[in-house]
Structure formats: structure tokens, C-alpha cells
């Protein structure tokens, strides 16, 4: 076993970019692998449901156009997780097409492995009937209706499918929805390093230089994994890792400061220690992994909720600002009365920036103290036409709504744009956010190999029907 394994994380999310000079410094350290997370549920359920990426084509192509040629020249693998942002089939295909385009333009030849992350609804139905699906805390118990309403379901793979792809000798691995640390931990665990340390290092590397200070999601971070510890190092001299910055990122997105659940078990950080080293580096030791008796993975599914229209406006009248809650309540009642004979349903919401738009009812200081407010009027309905109708009526009602102390006879709202209403299209909500028991970690994640050549046709789409040893 190697005494040290070096992992280069170029950016927090593929498409967020990185300074070329930082990347060059990382490659000069002779990493054994380049790994990058490409997705998250942070942007919400829309992107999974719509089958589109929350990062842009040109930005992702720019990053991969630097990463892939450098890795091929150094003869080290590249692993990309949660392809296309959400890791469903269309997201995976989108990423593969970018890679094909890069290979054609740069005349690259390499072996590519694609791992499907989207799962069949019928398989989830069967697992639900067999009692193999459980709910996370604060998430309602799953129903058959939730499964039926889901337009797309992905499963969050662990390290094992990535390791299977590495065993094929693939130069580039593109995976569907992944447990974030998995792309960084797969090779080290396969090479015999401690699972707990490898996953904890992956937890730090997943957001790249965000774990440094000043933090940035658009800069590189290098990890050095050893038998009994790991070290993280920023690759931009303007940044440094501190025990505080690394420990803080360890706590990132965790409900329990000591335990981080993931596929197959829990990362236990009760004995973890952080040590400051010279040159802005930090050493970490003591992290361990506790395997579960039953291997579980997280499912993410979304359903179509309706269609959204929004209108953005500003309020400058101090009298209206003082009465904004009463005005909004009055507008809602007027809309309700106007459409009470209609059979359609809708949801009407007002977000008031400068008051409590960010935290809502949890806002500890709900009194508007500024001289102006920003108001977003949002209508969601079963069709775009109904959403347009409701938003338009709410906007015009608020524009001319009367309130005590009002002097002006002109409009109450200032609109920064014309047209004032925006059709934002389909709205999705999470329908599945549950745990699935699986008999084998790779069963749901077929791997397909492709030989990429400069003349590779963009019509040769990924076909998950021809997996490599899906056990």
C-alpha cells in the first residue's frame, strides 16, 4: 500500500471554476487522482425534476477541458460525481456530451466509464411493498402515491460502484447521484487506507477551498492521505487552511457534530483531532467509520407541483411599510373573493425583503426598520395560465390597494422591470427523501464502458442496459 495518496479537488462544484495557476500547482504535487463533485440538492428539487443542470454548459466544459487533458497526460484517473447537478439520467447524458465534445475538439483518446444513478420506479414500488424503505427524521412515511407521483428518482451511491469502475481501468469516470465524499474516498479505500479517514478527507475536499480561509468554492484544495491521518493544503498562496476553517467545514451540513451518516454506515468524529501545520496546512486524525448491519442508501425523488408566476416590486411609502402585513392580508382576501366561484386551486405567497423574507416566522426581529422594502408576489397553480391570472390580479390589487394614512392616488409599487410578471414555469417538490435497504451496494448502479476517440459520435448515447458486472 502507498504510504501517501494525494487527491486533487479543483473546485467545489464542477462548473464553478478555478484559477489555472492553482490547478497547475496541484498537478505539480503529482496527485494520484483528480476528483470533483458536480452536484447538490441545495438548489432545490427543480433541476432533478426538469432534467437540467444548475451549472452552465460552457462553464462545465471550461473546467473539464482543463481537468481531463491534464489527468490523461499525468496518467491518473478523474472521477466526477452527481453529474449534471442532480445525477439523473438526463444529467448524466448532458455531462457525457460535454466530454465527447472536448474529446473531439482536443483529439483525445481514453476509456470512459458511466455509472447510472437514476432508478426505476417499479423497483422502488417493490422495495416499498417489501418494507425496505424507511423515512429520515422529520420526513413523512413514504406512500405508494408519493412514488407514483414522482417524475424522477435517483439513488445516492457510495464508493463501491466507483471502485468497480476504477477496476475496469477507466481513465474518466462519470457517475450519477453520489454521496458527496464518495468520489474522493473510493480510490483510497480501494488502496487499503482507513475508510473513516478517507471519507472525512472527502468531506473536506468536496467543497475544495471553501475549507480554507478566505474560503472560495472556485479554487483548488489538495489532500494527502496517510495510514493514520490526512493533511489538507490550499493551492493558492492567498489562502490557508486553519484548524478552525477545517473543523468548521467538518460541521458543514450536519445535524450532529460527531456523526455523519452515509451509504453503509456512519462517520464517527468523536475522537477527531485537528493540528495546525506550517504553510497553511492542517493535519487531521482520529476519524473512524462504523459500518451498519444493513447497507442503506438515500433516495431522492421529485413530483410536479404546478406552475409559477412571480412579480417583483419595491415599496417606498413609510406608511405602507408600517402597515405591510395588513396590506398583504387584504390583498390575499381580495384575490380569494375575486376567484371564489372558480374551481381551480392556487397558492399565493408574498416574500417581503427587508422584513422577514429569509427566515419567515423564525425571524427574531420581524419589524421592518428600513426606508424601503422589496416584495416578490408568487402564484403557483395547476397551469401556467392560472398562475399568470392569479399573480396578475394580486399585483394589480396591491398596486392600488387602499390603507389608512395613504395620501397618493398613484400606484403603491415601483416595478424594476417591464413586463412586471415573469413566467418561471414548472415547480417541483421533493416527494421522496428516504432510505432504501439494498442487498448489494452496486446493484442499482450499472456501469458502462466507452472508448472515446476523436471521431466519437455524439449519437452514441449512454445505454444503461449493458452494465459491467452489476452485483
Estimate the crossing angle of helix 159-167 against helix 182-190, to 10 degrees: 60
Q: Name the grid cell of 198.
A: 478517507
Full pLDDT tens readout for the chain, 471 residues: 459 999 999 999 999 999 999 999 999 999 999 999 999 999 999 999 999 999 999 999 999 999 999 999 999 999 999 999 999 999 999 999 999 999 999 999 999 999 999 999 999 999 999 999 999 878 899 999 999 999 999 999 999 999 999 999 999 999 999 999 999 999 999 999 999 999 999 999 999 999 999 999 999 999 999 999 999 999 999 999 999 999 999 988 778 889 999 999 999 999 999 999 999 999 999 999 999 999 999 999 999 999 999 999 999 999 999 999 999 999 999 999 999 999 999 999 999 999 989 998 888 888 888 899 999 999 999 999 999 999 999 999 999 999 999 988 889 999 999 999 999 999 999 999 999 999 899 999 999 999 998 754 433 343 433 333 332
Question: Quick check: 312 and 357 in contact, CB under 8 A?
Answer: no
Tell me the DSSP string of 433-465: EEEEE-SSTTTT--EEEEEE-TT--TT----TT
Indicate the pairing of strand 296-315 with strand 150-155: antiparallel
What CA–CA distance (Å, rounded) separates 24 from 281? 18
Helix (H, G, I), strand (E, B) or coil at 226: coil
Per-residue DSSP letter, 272: -
What CA–CA distance (Å, rounded) separates 310 from 374? 13
| C-beta neighbour count of 75 within 10 angstroms | 7
Instruction: Express each pLDDT in 19-50 by its tens digit.
Output: 999 999 999 999 999 999 999 999 999 999 99
- How many residues make up the chain in this entry? 471
**pTM as predicted:** 0.91
Q: How far is CA 203 from CA 37, 188, 199, 352, 464, in A?
A: 11, 14, 6, 36, 29
In sequence order, the β-bridge partners of residue 229 are none
Q: Closest Cα to residue 7, out of 218, 236, 184, 255?
A: 184
Domain extents for the chain?
Answer: 5-117+157-295+438-452, 304-430
| Sign for the pseudo-dihedral over CA of 61, 39, 165, 269 | positive
What CA–CA distance (Å, rounded) separates 208 from 285? 19
Q: Name the grid cell of 252.
A: 458543514
Question: Quick check: 121 and 444 in contact, CB under 8 A?
Answer: no
| C-beta neighbour count of 243 within 10 angstroms | 15
First CA to last CA distance, the chain: 26
Q: Closest Cα to residue 279, out of 248, 233, 213?
A: 233
CATH number for the domain running over 304-430: 3.30.70
What CA–CA distance (Å, rounded) separates 267 from 260? 5
Helix (H, G, I), strand (E, B) or coil at 69: helix
Amino acid at each position: 500500500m502507498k504510504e501517501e495518496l494525494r487527491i486533487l479537488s479543483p473546485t467545489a462544484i464542477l462548473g464553478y471554476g478555478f484559477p489555472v495557476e492553482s490547478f497547475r500547482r496541484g498537478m505539480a504535487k503529482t496527485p494520484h487522482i483528480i476528483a470533483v463533485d458536480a452536484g447538490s440538492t441545495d438548489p432545490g428539487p427543480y433541476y432533478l425534476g426538469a432534467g437540467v443542470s444548475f451549472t452552465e454548459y460552457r462553464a462545465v466544459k471550461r473546467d473539464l477541458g482543463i481537468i481531463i487533458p491534464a489527468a490523461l497526460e499525468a496518467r491518473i484517473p478523474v472521477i466526477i460525481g452527481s453529474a449534471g447537478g442532480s445525477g439523473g439520467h438526463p444529467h448524466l447524458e448532458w455531462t457525457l456530451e460535454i466530454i465527447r465534445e472536448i474529446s473531439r475538439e482536443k483529439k483525445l483518446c481514453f476509456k470512459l466509464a458511466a455509472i447510472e444513478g437514476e432508478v426505476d420506479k417499479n423497483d422502488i414500488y417493490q422495495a416499498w411493498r417489501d418494507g425496505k424503505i424507511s423515512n429520515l427524521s422529520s420526513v413523512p412515511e413514504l406512500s405508494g402515491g408519493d412514488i407514483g407521483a414522482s417524475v424522477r428518482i435517483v439513488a445516492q451511491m457510495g464508493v463501491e460502484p466507483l471502485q468497480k469502475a476504477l477496476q475496469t481501468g477507466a481513465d474518466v469516470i462519470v457517475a450519477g447521484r453520489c454521496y458527496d465524499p464518495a468520489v474522493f474516498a473510493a480510490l483510497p479505500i480501494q488502496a487499503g487506507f482507513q475508510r473513516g479517514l478517507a471519507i472525512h478527507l472527502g468531506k473536506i475536499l468536496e467543497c475544495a477551498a471553501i475549507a480554507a480561509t478566505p474560503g472560495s468554492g472556485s479554487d483548488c484544495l489538495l489532500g494527502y492521505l496517510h495510514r493514520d491521518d490526512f493533511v489538507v493544503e490550499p493551492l493558492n498562496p492567498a489562502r490557508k487552511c486553519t484548524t478552525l476553517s477545517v473543523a468548521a467545514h467538518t460541521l458543514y451540513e450536519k445535524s450532529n457534530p460527531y456523526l455523519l451518516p452515509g451509504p453503509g454506515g456512519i462517520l464517527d468524529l468523536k475522537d477527531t483531532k485537528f493540528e495546525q501545520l506550517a504553510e497553511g496546512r492542517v493535519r487531521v486524525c482520529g476519524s473512524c467509520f462504523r459500518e451498519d448491519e444493513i447497507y442503506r442508501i438515500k433516495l431522492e425523488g421529485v413530483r410536479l407541483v404546478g406552475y409559477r408566476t412571480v412579480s417583483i416590486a419595491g415599496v417606498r411609502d413609510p406608511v405602507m411599510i408600517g402597515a405591510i402585513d395588513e396590506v398583504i392580508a387584504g390583498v390575499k382576501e381580495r384575490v380569494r373573493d375575486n376567484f371564489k366561484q372558480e374551481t381551480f386551486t392556487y397558492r399565493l405567497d408574498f416574500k417581503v425583503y427587508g422584513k422577514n423574507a429569509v427566515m419567515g416566522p423564525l425571524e427574531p426581529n420581524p419589524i421592518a426598520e428600513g426606508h424601503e422594502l422589496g416584495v416578490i408576489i408568487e402564484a403557483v397553480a395547476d397551469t401556467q395560465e392560472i398562475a399568470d391570472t392569479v399573480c396578475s390580479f394580486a399585483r394589480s390589487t396591491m398596486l392600488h390597494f387602499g390603507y389608512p394614512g395613504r395620501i397618493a392616488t398613484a400606484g403603491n409599487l415601483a416595478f424594476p422591470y417591464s413586463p412586471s410578471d415573469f413566467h418561471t414555469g414548472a415547480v417541483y417538490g421533493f416527494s421522496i427523501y428516504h432510505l432504501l435497504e439494498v442487498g448489494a451496494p452496486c446493484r442499482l448502479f450499472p456501469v458502462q464502458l466507452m472508448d472515446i476517440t476523436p471521431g466519437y459520435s455524439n449519437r452514441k448515447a449512454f445505454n444503461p442496459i449493458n452494465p459491467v458486472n452489476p452485483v
